[in-house]
Each structure stands twice: as C-alpha cells, then as structure tokens.
Amino acid sequence: MLGAREIALKNDLLMLRKKVNKLVQKLNRVLKSKGGKLATGEIEKECLVELEKMKRIIEIIMERHKEASIWY
C-alpha cells in the first residue's frame, strides 16, 4: 500500500504527464502548420511559456520529494 508521500508523488507525475502531452500536441500543430520550419508566431510563444511552466513544475516536484528514493 502506498503512503501519503508516494501518492502525492504519483499524482504530481500524472499531472505533469498530462501537461507534457498537451504541449506535445501544440508543438505538433505548429510543425504541421509551418511545414516543419521554425516559426515565431503566437503558438510558438505559448509553447515557450508552457515549457517554462513545465520546468518550474518539475523543480517543485523534485524539491517536494527530494528525500524520496525515486530520485536516487
């Protein structure tokens, strides 16, 4: 049976996975709309903002669970 810390970690990781999947979908739309070329439009800016959010979320998760053996 999972403890509270493990359940919290599992939930955090599930949330992160969901956010990453949404970001991948956005990036795929950009690639299809731009023919694979680098673009600088609004969707790309949204993706950059989302990437920064992901980075911060990952940092928070790692900090919250830094004693958990999953990181070692």
Per 3-state DSSP, the chain is made up of helix, strand and coil in percentages (nearest 5) of 80, 0, 20
Dihedral angle of Cα 27, 31, 34, 43, to the nearest 10 degrees: 0
Predicted confidence (pLDDT) at residue 11 exceeds the cutoff of 60: yes
Token pair 């070692």 is found at: 72
Q: What is the pLDDT of residues 29-66, one digit of tens each?
A: 776 776 655 556 777 777 778 877 888 888 787 777 77
Q: In this structure, are residues 39 and 30 in contact, taking their beta carbons and an 8 Å threshold? A: yes
Confidence of residue 72 (pLDDT cuts 50, 70, 90): very low
Count, residues in the chain: 72
Predicted TM-score of the model (pTM): 0.54
Query: What is d(CA 68, CA 72) in angstroms, rounded to the nearest whole number?
Result: 8
